[in-house]
Chain A
Amino acid sequence: MKRTIYYFFLLVLIFPAIDSVFQLFHYTKLNGSFLPVQNPVFTAESWLDNSFQTQKEDYVSDNLNAKPLLTRIKNQLDYSFFSIANNNEGVVGKNNFLYLESYIENYTGDNYIGDENLNKTSTTIKNLQDFFAKKNITLLTVFLPSKASFYPEYIPSHYTKKK
C-alpha cells in the first residue's frame, strides 16, 4: 500500500512533464494578452551569465501543457475564497461586480493628475480644435463615462473610504 502511494506521488510529479512532451491532454487555452516566452538558445556565454537558465525556467513554466488548468485552479480558489480577480487591474466589487482599478481611481479621483496638468491638457485640446477649425474640421472632445461612474455603489468600500 505505502509503496503504491509513494509511486503514485512520483507519477503525479512527473506527469506534467510527460503531458507536456506528449501533449496527452487538451486544455482550453487561457484568454488575455500576454507575451509568450521564447525558448533560449544555449551558448557558453548565456550559460555562464545565467541568462540561459533564467529564460529556460520561464520557458518551461510558460509551456507546461497543464498550465491553463493549474492557472484556472489558482484563479478560481483566489476568486471563490478571497474575491480576488487575478488579471491585470481586475477588482471584484460588491455583488460580484467587476471593475478595472484605473476606472475606479478615475472616479474616486485617486489618480487625479493635478490642476496644472489638466490646464495644460485642455489648452492643448483647445489649440487642436482651433487648428482643425481653420480647416473646417470640427474636433469634438467627449468625456467617456466609465462603469465606475454608472455603478459607484458596487465599488469596494476601501476605494470609496479613501475618497
Chain B
Amino acid sequence: MVFSSTLFLFYFLPIFLIVYNLTPHKYKNYWALFASLLFYAWGAPKFVFVVASVIIVDYFIVNKIDSSDNKRLRQRLLAVSVVLKVGLLAYFKYANFFVENLNYVINLMGGENVAWTKVALPIGISFFTFQALTYSVDVYRKVHKPLKSIADYLLYILLFPQLIAGPIVRYNEIADQLNDRKEFETIDNKIIGFYRFVIGLSKKVLIANVLGAEADKVFALTEPQLTTNIAWVGILSYTFQIYFDFSGYSDMAIGLGRMMGFKFPENFNNPYISQNITEFWRRWHITLGRFMKDYLYIPLGGNKVTVKRMYFNLAFVFIVSGFWHGAAWNFILWGAFHGFFLIMDRLFLLKVFSKIGKIPSVIITSFITIIGWVIFRATSLNQVIFYIKELFSFNFSNYYVDSKFWYILIVAVLFSYITLLKKGLKLEQFIFFKEKYSNSQIILLGVLMFILLIISSANIIASGFNPFIYFRF
C-alpha cells in the first residue's frame, strides 16, 4: 500500500488518524503498532512473520547487551545481533545476485549451475534493517538505554510512515519520543505535519509521476532508437523524477510522523544546488549518509588514519552505499563513481570549485550527478555505455514530448534550484521549517494545500482511466 493510493489516502490514513487522535496517550503506541503491522502485512504478508520474529529475538539479545558488564560477552552479543540483521538483508536482498554471479563464473569454467529458487525482496528491508542496526549499536555504545517493551521495539522498526522508504531514523534520536511525545503532539504540529504530507504527495503525484512516465519510455528504447536529444530528455526526466519521488516520499513520512507527535530527521536539503559531490552527499539522502558515516566510516577509522587508508575507507563506504541501493553491478558502479569524485574532491576538485565560483560549481556538480543517474537508472552495464555515448554523439532526431511534460520539467528545475536565491531560501524556510504560523498564514496555506490535495487525488484516481471511446458505438 503506497501513500499515493486510494486505499491509503481515503481509508487507511483518515481512519488511523481519527482513532489515533481519540486514543489516550498511554495506548497510542499500541494503536500505531497495530496499524503498522496491518500496513506491512498488506504489502509483505509472508515476510511480516519473519521480521517480527527477528525483532523479538533481537530485543532480548540487545537487553542482554545492556545488562551485561562483561565486555567480551557484550561484544559477542553485538556480533550476533548484527549478523542476525545483516544476514536477513544479505539473504533476502543479495542472495539472488550472488548466486547469479556464481553461476556465471561456474559456467565460464564449464561447470553446471547451482540450483536456486529465487527469493522475493520484501518491501522496506533495506531501511528497517539499518534502523535495527542502530538499535543494537547505540545500546552497545551506551548512547541510550534499550526500550522497555517489545511492542515499542516493534513500533520503532515497523512504524508505517518511515517503514518503506525511510528516513532512516537512528535509535538514539527517536527513543525518547517512543516513550513520551505528549509535548510534541500540538495542534500546530498536526496541521504543519498534514501540510507537509500534502506537499510530499503533490511532489510525487504531480511532478515525479509525469517525469517518470517519460523516463521509463526513453530508458526502454534500444541502442539504435536512442538519439542525443531523446537521451537528454530521458536523463533529465529521471534526474528530477528521482528527486521529487524520493524527497516527496520523505516529506510524506516526516509529515505523517509529525501528525503522530514524532520528529523524524530531514532527508533532503536541496541536493541539486550542491557545489561539489562531497556537499551533494550532505544534502542527498541525509539519513543514509549519516548512517554510513557513524556506523561504517568512523568504525573503519574515518579520517584519523593514513591518507591512503582514508581514501580506501571512502571508496569502500561508497561502494557499500551503492550496493545498498540494489543488488546489481550498476549500483556498485554508481557507488564507486561517487566515491571517485569524493576522493577527487579531497585531492584537488574542492580547490578548483572554490576558484571558479558558485554557479559554475553548481552546474558542473549537477552534470556529474546527472551522469551518475544514468548508471543508477540503466538496467545493464551495456545500457550505461551506449546511453552515455549517445548523450554526446550529437545525433539528433524528431522526438515529440507534450507540453505538460515541459511545464512540469520547468517547475521541477525551478523548485530544485530556487534556494540558490535568497528569496527562494526564505520561501523554503517559511513553507518547510516554520514552527508556528499565524491564523491568517494557516488559512492561506490551507487553501493552497486544499487545491493541491484535490488535484493530487484526482490524478491518483484518474491515472488508470483511459477508456476506449469507440467501443460504445
**Hey, which bits of chain A sit against chain B, CB under 8 A?**
1-3, 5-6, 9-10, 12-14, 16-17, 30-34, 47-48, 50, 53, 56-58, 60-61, 64, 66-67, 70-71, 73-75, 77-78, 81-84, 86-88, 90, 100, 158, 161-162
Contacts and interface: CB of A to CB of B under 8 A. Distances in A.
B398 A162 contact: yes
Contact of B458 (A56, A71, A82, A161): A71
B472 interface: yes
Contacts, number: 143
A74 B454 CA distance: 9
A2 B441 CA distance: 10
A77 to B, nearest CB: 7
A87 B42 contact: no
B-side interface size class: 35 or more
Contacts of A60: 6-7, 11
A61 B458 CA distance: 11
26 contacts: A1-B442, A2-B188, A3-B187, A6-B187, A12-B450, A13-B13, A13-B14, A32-B469, A34-B465, A53-B43, A53-B45, A57-B1, A57-B5, A57-B7, A61-B460, A67-B461, A71-B462, A73-B458, A74-B461, A75-B462, A78-B404, A83-B403, A84-B404, A88-B467, A90-B469, A161-B398
Interface string B445-464: 01001100111011111111
B79 interface: no
B471 A17 contact: no
B404 A81 contact: yes
B402 interface: yes
B14 A53 contact: no
A62 to B, nearest CB: 9
B407 interface: yes
A86 B42 CA distance: 31
A50 B455 CA distance: 29
Given A32-B472, A56-B7, A61-B7, A14 B461 contact: no
Contacts of A57: 1, 5-7
Given A12-B450, A70-B457, A75-B462, A82 B404 contact: yes
Interface string B194-227: 1000000000000000000000000000000000
B466 interface: yes
Contacts of B442: 1-2, 5
B458 A77 contact: yes
A67 B457 CA distance: 10
A81 B453 CA distance: 18
Contacts of A64: 6, 10, 461
A49 to B, nearest CB: 8
Contacts of B459: 74
Contacts of A13: 9-10, 13-14, 17
A5 B108 CA distance: 66
A33 B467 contact: yes
Contacts of A14: 10, 14-15, 18
A161 B397 CA distance: 11
A12 B464 CA distance: 23
Contact of A2 (B407, B439, B454): B439
A53 B458 contact: no
A14 B14 CA distance: 5
B348 interface: no
Interface string B270-299: 000000000000000000000000000000
Interface string B10-26: 11011101100000000
Given A17-B10, A48-B45, A64-B10, A100 B470 contact: yes
A75 B466 CA distance: 10
Interface in B372-417: 398, 400, 402-404, 407
Contacts of A48: 45-46
Interface string B329-357: 00000000000000000000000000000
